Structure 1
């Protein structure tokens, strides 16, 4: 019994020691400054680069020096007091190549006047003094994904991050605000140095006070969408209504059932912006139900991203407009493209650029650059790949819900899914063989479509893995890239397979394949690009060491270079003359390059934040 007690006591002592050590490490980490750079931003764009017009999406707004600034993923727009557009500042040009997600005005450190602070989703913090921009960029990428900003009267800027908690910047140092608020997925901030409210993605609402943290229980949901304070009362917006909190306790839930993605509280009044039901003032004198929300909503079918007070008036920022009462006082301009999240690019023989969107279907631009045609329905919504065969007059579009075939006149000829014989509905890639056969990649294997019908193979037939991501065909031979390695097919027969265990392949997850001379360049999700020669020998590139994710089917080759889209490092460029790789980001609206097309000396580069085109010679090859 004594021995058992000693074991229990010893285990408890060890647990306490480990806990104390962990807390000490967190405290030391919080007290230590993070490594970061501060540099002025000067737009330097390659000669000939063009931003292909994509629709603006409004996400946040702020008044600064009497002007209204509206931010979206791709640009910051400045409007004067009359609502006239004064200037545009673009991600990838005047601003870093990352989505703009948050705005706030305030002082930091020894600044003489307030500045406009811009939080980005991957490139840290940007400050604007009315004349120029400077970037505050943490060395560690974890601290560069900003979600919320809160300026303090003490000359500090609090920064909420995607997964790394709350940071503080005072003009000289950037560091974690407090160890108890580290490693949090922050969604919203409000308060001050003495009492700070932190909304999180999945851990509810936290109150930091006097060095301690308290969780506010009983809210309608643990995901906090928005916060607003009016005196000593806090309102916390969730997907199921708004929690009213006083003295650190939940008093009641108002507007139950509403998706309260933004709030404004002032003078005893509360305004709420919803996901798809507009903005309205919430009655606070009673306990309103879902059908008792006061005055008719502003912009009834809109998704409201921000509510702000301008010269005493209440304004609602929707994704495409700014509203004052029933009037849209600012609206976004019409643009060439239907969306900015590009998933696939392919130019046909007539010079028409086919653009597949992540969730907005297909658009075919006219050869002269006109808006062309749009297709969006139950099959054409999430596009993965586009391929053309001019000799057979076929264009094939791989989607999340089937394979859609078009004829030479761009008329939809056939939709093929599981009901028609495909091994699965989701088609991740498509290849068109010279003999007219169509090969479809799916998460369940590979399907072959020809004049005789549809046949399929999968792991049972020797395929290295069922989940296929990439295809490349050369006559009867087809390379099949999967989640578990690469298989080479002769017709429909598996001839050979490569994995990390039986070859020099560095990563099993194959995402892109392209033919380069007599060799193949193979993109992976983790080990960059490798080369496979005609004898089945793999070769890694010395200048692509370390972790590197190549996006699905984001690869193209020309006589000059090979281009591969990466998850977070821009466009990887391989010079066929020098045999070396480099990374190119100048002018890109995002470092997440999702699609690449090269035709007639022009590169088309699609990202999750827009599309650019540029003469190929302007891209700096090593």
Structure 2
């Protein structure tokens, strides 16, 4: 284990040195800032066997191997497979301290109890254990392994397994060896607990030379650095060059260095307790737990083939990588994390409005603008640039503020005549007039005159979220109830969204003037509005969008369209958009970006302008609930250029896993074959696409999307070769497909020889049977001719008898059938009224609800109750009550259609089921029934008796359980009775 630093570290001197170094080095604008890297981490919760990450390496097939105290975790980008002691590694303990490579690129695993094992293409090979913890392994130019141990010095092992040991008795400064390195000049460097030594690997006597100029402290890390060697010690980072040692940097002179990684012109430095550092053209940058690191104790560093930086800590696995999106939050200097608006200014800067203020992003960094003089909360909703370069800032509670030349020059709020202080949208006319969209309506400011527009002036609703002023004078107004257009002559008209999937909320506008289109983001998708013809086309669920609500569209410099939503950022190719608008295709493909692509949150914000913007440098910015996210569209091709290698990971036959031996011979009866595979790309593993081909079955490649398995059933006996390739979205397929061959043996009856023998046997049997049959027929012919006459008479008598019995049976069956039909009819009818009973109605209710849900047809249920019916029975008699029930049933039936179902629900309650009937029509029917029953004349059998009914109506809303429809209708009936009876009540 690494020991702690023995000397105190001056935080002030360190920070000062880092600052001076950063200021002294020219910033390379093309290099990613350490703070801009996308961060990801994994722990035991994600499948790691242990949170202490001792070592990394990447095998030739593309897997990332991670050494922990509970085994080596093989990572394919999605899941971990753990290799511990025993089979197949042959290691005596699961603790892995070091994973290195030999000259043939095979992995060498070493660790606890002196275990050492090699993984090659042919399998695993292990050697006898050294019975001491192995800290590091390196291979010299002659193929010999040198192993650093924790307390027993340095070990040497050749390819045949021969071994030697070197300790303090042989000249080592300490028997604790932390690091070992075989450099390209033939030297072997040994970092011990008391400094650094080296010897020439060709010298069989191993004459050790101690490096002067280093403190006698543990040397934890060694790394080749051009023609020199970097030395990471407990008390700083040093460089050995041309026989002398020097401090690598004054800022690193007292730093406890535990791991090193050289990546081009960048140097990554892991420390024992102060996190991760990077030394580059950008200066010296630091990342600690405060910046997202799982733990400040760094044990290992590695750069994979996709240039991601992997960091092994005491608190889990950590990765830094470039991502399509970069997100800026308060950690990078923004005033707040909850972003509502972004503005691409003409000077190249980007203004970012958040719930806690407004920030300005430039190449020099992020600065915050103080609005506290006029805004108490500084909560920003909208941003727009004026023709003179000033910026209008719409706030949540302090109106609109104009910022120019570093100061506030104007402010409009309720005191100025605005309808509300909540400014969600701003538009500026050519004549200098200002339009403000508020939560209470629209305002126009011209000079000192303020004009208000609300629902009375033609707005669909007063809640205004977006504005767009077209050069021809039309003002498009996005509200919570649709889009209104104020024409140049002052008329306000509402766009008809009928047929656009019931769209209502209009969150944002984006002009596409190259095609004379205005893109409208709504709660049902994206609407393309033709500015010349007023024709509207909906790009929504039916066109392939994965969800309904979208907030803001943005058109990048390549004319592709980006779209923000609550569930990520969508990107559409321009060519497909054109084809869709020209009705040349019915749906459209898209890419969906989220957290795995660099966003801190996939939840974008909308409802104020602008929620997305395209900066002068071509980057596209989005307002999200966790920072301002930007993407440079041109970089997408760089990410797609990575072609992930692909491997086949599993092979199952009839549900049982089998070893992956290409050329496997499967027994007959292998009816279900499943193969698992993985693209070994770690930048965007969830977005890797796959295609497969089973030679002998498939005629062409089969697109699998992001699925990582393929299953085949009922394959015929024969030889097969399975192939799989992988690619990132918009990238090329891997040139070399992974393949796996297998064969399925036939059953004995599926073999050609069996069928040949069976055919010959069948022909011979048929010939013999034919000859025997002909002879038998001749003999039987004489016997049959004698019996025909006798049997003819007997059969005639039997036929006559059977005909009579059959006639009697048919008559009996007809009688039984008629009785059954009559019984079935009675079982579904109410005897008193002749209406359907409760059982028949329940069946009709289930049937009509299913049909309504399946065909999207309206359906209404009515429950009807005779008012004060108990008084009729009590005051007149039950026979009179029965007469009333019959009369009511007759009137209800007379006003219903043939397709309607009328039933006696129980007692004085009736139920009506009205299929394909809208709520308004159902109310008309019920009113006619109510009036008809109110006019029933009962004087013939009960003088002075007048009856009325109460009714409850509920419209079917697609519920899976139709009893909820009954409950809502019953509640409506109960409310009608509570409100005075003789009325109709509609369920909400």
TM range (shorter): 0.3 to 0.5
When Rg is computed on C-alpha atoms for both structures, the one with the higher figure is: 2
Flag the structure with higher strand content.
1
- Structure-1-length-normalised TM-score: 0.46
- Structure-2-length-normalised TM-score: 0.30
Flag the structure with higher helix content.
2
